[in-house]
Structure 1
Amino acid sequence: MLKIRLLSLLIIGFVGVQAQTKSYKFKREITGVQSVWHTMKLPDDLYKHQSADFADLRIFGIKGKDTTEVPYILKQGKDKITNKSIDFKQINQSENSTGYFYTFQLKEASIINQIDLDFNQINFDWRVMLEGSNDNTNWFSILKNYRILGIKNNDTDYKFSKLSFPDSKYQYFRIAIKSDLKPENLEAKISKMDTVSGNAEKINYTSYNLFNDVAAQRSSIEIALKNASPISSLKLNVESDFDFYRNIKIRYATESFESEKGTQYNFMPLYEGTLSSLEKTQFNFPNTIVKFLRIDIQNNDNKPLRFKGVELFGSSYEIIARFDDLDSKYALYYDNPNADNPNYEITNFENKIPSNLTQINIGKEEKNPSYSIVIEKPLFENKSWLWALMGIIIFVLGWFSFKMLRD
């Protein structure tokens, strides 16, 4: 009798575990849990089966017949960019045969590295010189022959009028614009931009193919990765030695299918803008899980650019989790298309999480033994429903027949 009860409890416990975990196709054992709070990095080969929004990511702890869900916070190690505006006033404006001059005075000597210029002209191509001074008398060169450009026509809508330079600390800044035409209603924004580097890593790819479509006046680059990986930045290494500005679209494949023309892809946009020799050729976008990329550069009537290659960067993800029972066995479960995003209250108390967390290990991927999918057959493939339906039909026909005979 005791053996039967123990067996019953084991069966009930197994069924309880299955009830919470059976809808997740894969699992990974978690080892090294020795305290309440831990951090763990998601393995690179997990993303191929992971939903794009991580809605189906769960941690379950199993102890005997009890199964508990572990609350966690998903963190992305991306660069943190801050842009601090600096107060100033314009004190001088003058001109001579070489161009137009503008002097700005800061409240106090401050470190800056950006000045955004704005004016009414749409089409322009000017050279700019920037100098700094602490007494408005002795000036020191910061930028020489810096190009700003604006073009708007049927093919292009591009404007670049931001001065970027190394950190410079002065109380006065003077801009000289070499132009035959006076900038209309010139305004400026002075700021200090700082970037705190996250844990972005270089992502390797397996294939790189460049196509120049003469008829479409377009260059296309296709990149395939070995495994689906999070990508947040792409750098194009351009070898062309002439100035250029081209419209660029970066897209990633969401699914593939076979056709008479071979493998075809459905794409979603990652970035759309301008590839220019005046700016950095590195483009940032939200961290996205990618397996196949396509980059389209519109050349119009211009000569196609020469490329040395592409560099991909991505920010990995880590989990900060709270393990309330150190005696439970824990595992990470995923790949459940019907799962909703979890809602854990610890996200509202993140400031109370200890700063120094021990990293624990996530094991290799294995199929979840309790995974099962209940496939509901169509109504008319169910024999019980067919017999019941036939019975109802026979009853109705018999009742009408009897009624007709009686009348």
Structure 2
Amino acid sequence: MLKLKTNIFILLFACFATANAQTNAYKFKREITGVNSLWHSMKLPDGLYKNANAGFEDLRIFGIKGKDTLEVPYLLKQRADQIISKEIDFKPVNESANANGYYYTFELKNVTEINQINLAFKEANFNWDVTLEGSNSNSEWFTILKDYRILSIKNKDTDYQFTKLSFPDSKYQYLRLMIKSPVKPGLLEALINKTDTVKGTYQDVKYKTFKLKNNTVDKETVIDVALENPVPLSYLKLNAQSHFDFFRPIKIEYATDSFKTDKGMQYNYAPLFEGNISSLEKSEFNFQNTIASKLKITIQNNDNKPLRLNGLALKGNLYEIIARFDNPTLTYALYYGNENVTAPSYEIEKFENEIPSILTAVTIGNQKENLAYSIKIEKPLFENKTWLWALMAVIIALLGWFSYKMLKN
């Protein structure tokens, strides 16, 4: 009977060891529930980003049942906006001028919808108003844009251009552009486009603190923004107000790490966005989806009065896993927290077009410590208090013995 119990124990231990062999390198896990078919999707929870690797190389899905352990292949997706732009063929058919300004007429080769025109000029500095009209007969004209401002400034402090005309979808055979300028503009190029945006999936991100400082020495405004936890960020909108037109360099950075100094906690930063903030454009900035918990926004004022900035809006693209569960009867969990692992390579990425377009979402549970985690960092021998006390006891004993021998002699 004792032998039978021993064999059962050995068998159970072997199964446990086999199951843990693949999972013991990961500090954390989250149970996955709701698996009932081959393909499923799941949204990464916000609390995961704090402990997972920055590049998600350590994400693994394992299914366990008894001594069977199965690694689940997956694709990691982020649902960002996709901008599709198509250039429309046209030819210039007329150029004229009157007291109102200079006119440029274009004829589209095919009547199709457009919503954007990009202009390029010889001049490096100008400030003009333009009017854009459309016609299907080249005689009766309809207004598309009126008194639309375009601008270019180039000097030692600023290099800024705003020459893109954006308008609602329009469909005309002819387009007429009128530029209000005292001298003839040196129009180099006009590109007519139809631009469509396939909206991605975003979530709003709340910030914890918003600290603004106007530095008169460096002539800049610096905003420090702290978030509750590390989360994906790809969009920032500043509430910038002013009674006058403005266009200033802006830089957005995120903290990569921190260190303590005599002056308190200091941070190292990496760039997210560099460009301009202008009264002619929306104060909205898009950048690559990045996991961040602290931002620094710097606006260069030069000799100008600082802008009124009263808050911002943040958004980030959601990360989603699409996984293939070959055996729905297993118990599945998402594992992470391994700094030494490399990114997995699954062949399903080569057959992505075979994945169903409609997927059922499964639930990722709360974070738990992985009890099977067995990789521990051993401290140096002399940092171990037990060894230090033992060493001290040996030294004291030796000193006492030599002292006794000396006194005896």
TM-score (norm 1): 0.90
Tell me, yes or no, if structure 1 residue 132 matches structure 2 residue 138.
no
User: Where does 1:4-43 land on structure 2 (aligned, <5 Å)?
Assistant: 4-43=6-45
The 2-side partners of 1:306 and 1:257 are apart by: 32
The 2-side partners of 1:18 and 1:151 are apart by: 64
Residue 264 (structure 1) shift: 1.2
Tell me, yes or no, if structure 1 residue 169 matches structure 2 residue 171.
yes
The 2-side partners of 1:12 and 1:124 are apart by: 78
Letter of the 2:8 partner, please give it. L
Aligned partner of 2:184 in structure 1 is 182
User: Where does 1:196-235 land on structure 2 (aligned, <5 Å)?
Assistant: 196-235=198-237
Judge which range, 1-10 or 295-304, deviates more: 1-10
Q: Is 2:19–2:66's contact at 8 Å kept on the other side of the alignment?
A: no
Identify if the C-alpha distance between structure 1 residues 311 and 380 changes in structure 2 by more than 3 Å, giving closer, same or farther. closer
Q: Is 1:72–1:346's contact at 8 Å kept on the other side of the alignment?
A: yes
Residue 19 (structure 1) shift: 2.1
User: Where does 1:185-334 land on structure 2 (aligned, <5 Å)?
Assistant: 185-334=187-336
SS at match of 1:249: strand
Residue 20 (structure 1) shift: 1.1
Q: Is 1:252–1:270's contact at 8 Å kept on the other side of the alignment?
A: yes
The 2-side partners of 1:84 and 1:101 are apart by: 25
Query: Pick from 150, 153, 163: which aligns with 1:151?
Result: 153
Residue 282 (structure 1) shift: 0.5
The 1-side partners of 2:242 and 2:289 are apart by: 29
Identify if the C-alpha distance between structure 1 residues 327 and 76 changes in structure 2 by more than 3 Å, giving closer, same or farther. same
The 2-side partners of 1:215 and 1:378 are apart by: 48
The 1-side partners of 2:53 and 2:360 are apart by: 27
Letter of the 1:339 partner, please give it. V
Query: Pick from 71, 74, 77: which aligns with 1:72?
Result: 74
Query: Pick from 325, 340, 343: which aligns with 2:342?
Result: 340
Aligned partner of 1:351 in structure 2 is 353
Judge which range, 129-138 or 98-107, deviates more: 98-107
SS at match of 1:21: coil
Q: Is 2:104–2:176's contact at 8 Å kept on the other side of the alignment?
A: yes
Letter of the 1:283 partner, please give it. F
Letter of the 2:60 partner, please give it. R
Residue 3 (structure 1) shift: 2.6
Residue 250 (structure 1) shift: 0.2
Residue 6 (structure 1) shift: 2.3
The 2-side partners of 1:28 and 1:147 are apart by: 54
Residue 374 (structure 1) shift: 4.3
Residue 380 (structure 1) shift: 11
The 2-side partners of 1:64 and 1:162 are apart by: 63
Judge which range, 30-39 or 103-112, deviates more: 103-112
Aligned partner of 1:397 in structure 2 is none
**Once superposed, what is the RMSD of the aligned Cα atoms?**
1.8
Residue 7 (structure 1) shift: 1.8
**Cα offsets for 1:321-373 (capped at 9, x unmatched):** 11111121110001111111111100111111112211111000010101122
Aligned partner of 1:372 in structure 2 is 374
Judge which range, 207-216 or 44-53, deviates more: 44-53
SS at match of 2:109: strand
Q: Is 1:79–1:200's contact at 8 Å kept on the other side of the alignment?
A: no
Aligned partner of 1:391 in structure 2 is none
The 2-side partners of 1:91 and 1:132 are apart by: 14
Q: Is 2:212–2:224's contact at 8 Å kept on the other side of the alignment?
A: yes
The 1-side partners of 2:144 and 2:263 are apart by: 55
Tell me, yes or no, if structure 1 residue 60 matches structure 2 residue 62.
yes
Q: Is 1:23–1:371's contact at 8 Å kept on the other side of the alignment?
A: yes
Q: Is 2:119–2:187's contact at 8 Å kept on the other side of the alignment?
A: no
SS at match of 1:238: strand
**Identity of counterpart residues, as a percentage?**
59
Q: Is 1:205–1:225's contact at 8 Å kept on the other side of the alignment?
A: yes
Letter of the 2:81 partner, please give it. D
SS at match of 1:348: helix
The 2-side partners of 1:245 and 1:221 are apart by: 18
Residue 185 (structure 1) shift: 4.6
